[in-house]
Amino acid sequence: MAKRNPSYDFTWCPGCGDFGVKRAIERALTARASEKQEPIENSVIVAGIGCSGNLVHLQEGPQPFGIHGIHGRTLPIAYGTKSANPDLNVLVVSGDGDFLSIGSEHIAPQARRNLDITVVVMDNGIYGLTKGQASPTTDLEEITPTTKYGKLDDRMNPLMVYLGGGARFIISELSTRIRPLQQAIEDAMNYPGFSIVHVQSPCTTYNDTYAALKGDEANGIKALAQPIADSHDASDYFQALALAAQPGVPVGVLYKADNSVPAHDRLTQAKQKAGIASTDIEKLFDGMVI
Partner 1 sequence: MSKNLVVRFAGEGGQGVVGGSELMASAAAESGYHVLTFATYPSQIKGGPAWGQARISSEPILTPGDSLDVLVCQNEYAYDANLPELSDQGIIVYNSQEFEIEHPRALALPTDDMAREAGNARAGTIVMIGAVAKAVGFSLEALESFITARWDRGRPGDAAIIEGNIKALHLGATAADESGFEIAQVDPPVEEPDARERILIRGYEAACLGAMAAGVDVFIGYPISPATTMLTYMESNLNGDGKFVGQASSEIESIAALIGAGFTGKKTMTSTAGPGLSLMGEGLGLAWMSEIPLVVADVQRGGPATGLPTKTEQSDFIMAMNPGHGDMSLPVIAPGNVEEAFWATAKAVNWSERYQGPVILLTEMSVAERAQDIERPDTSLISQESRSISDGSVENRRYEGEGVSPFPVPGGPGAYVANGSEHDEQGDTTHLADVHIQMTERRFAKLKTLNDGTFEAENPTASIAIMPWGGSKGSGRGAWQELTSEGIDIGWYYTMYLNPLPEELLAELRTKDKVLVPELNYMGQFAGHLRQLGVAAETINQYTGLPWRISDLKEEIKGHLS
Ligand X SMILES: Cc1ncc(C[n+]2csc(CCOP(=O)(O)OP(=O)(O)O)c2C)c(N)n1
Q: Which residues bind ligand X (CB under 6 A)?
A: 48-52, 71, 95-98, 122, 124, 126-130, 135
**Residue with Cβ nearer partner 1 (231 or 272):** 272
Q: What residues from 59 to 118 belong to the interface with partner 1 (CB under 8 A)?
A: 63-70, 73, 76-85, 87-88, 105-106, 109
The contact mask relative to ligand SF4 for 205-224 (x = CB under 6 A, - = no) is xx------------------
Q: Up-side HSE of residue 132: CA atoms within 13 Å toward CB?
A: 12
What does 129 bind: ligand X, Mg ion, partner 1, none (CB cut-off 5 to 8 Å by kind)?
ligand X
Strand, coil or helix: 225: strand
Q: What angle do CA 210, 215, 216 make, to 5 degrees?
A: 125
Of the candidates 260, 261, 262, 257, the residue with the CA atom closest to the CA atom of residue 237: 257
How far apart (Å, rounded) are the C-alpha atoms in residues 143 and 152? 10
Q: How far is the CB of 213 from Mg ion (least distance, A)?
A: 15
Q: Which stretch binds ligand SF4 (CB under 6 A): 204-212, 224-232, 239-247, 281-289?
A: 204-212
Beta strand residue intervals within 88-193, DSSP E = 89-95, 118-123, 169-174
Q: How far is the CB of 100 from ligand SF4 (least distance, A)?
A: 15
**Residue with Cβ nearer Mg ion (103 or 193):** 103
Q: How far is the CB of 203 from ligand X (least distance, A)?
A: 6
**Residue with Cβ nearer partner 1 (229 or 277):** 277
Q: How far is the CB of 210 from ligand X (least distance, A)?
A: 15
Cβ-count burial 119-133 (b if 16+ within 10 Å, e if not): bbbbbbbbbbbbebe
Residues 6+ apart with CB under 8 A from 206: 124, 126, 127, 128, 131, 132, 144
Q: How far is the CB of 129 from partner 1 (least distance, A)?
A: 11
Q: What residues from 226 to 265 belong to the interface with ligand SF4 (CB under 6 A)?
A: none
How far apart (Å, rounded) are the C-alpha atoms in residues 58 and 87? 25
What does 97 bind: partner 1, ligand X, ligand SF4, none (CB cut-off 5 to 8 Å by kind)?
ligand X
Q: How far is the CB of 196 from Mg ion (least distance, A)?
A: 16
Q: What is the dihedral of CA 260, 264, 270, 272, to 10 degrees?
A: -120
Residues at the contact surface with Mg ion, assessed by CB under 5 A:
95-97, 124, 128
Strand, coil or helix: 268: helix
Residues that bind ligand SF4 (CB under 6 A): 12-13, 16, 18, 51, 124, 128, 203-206
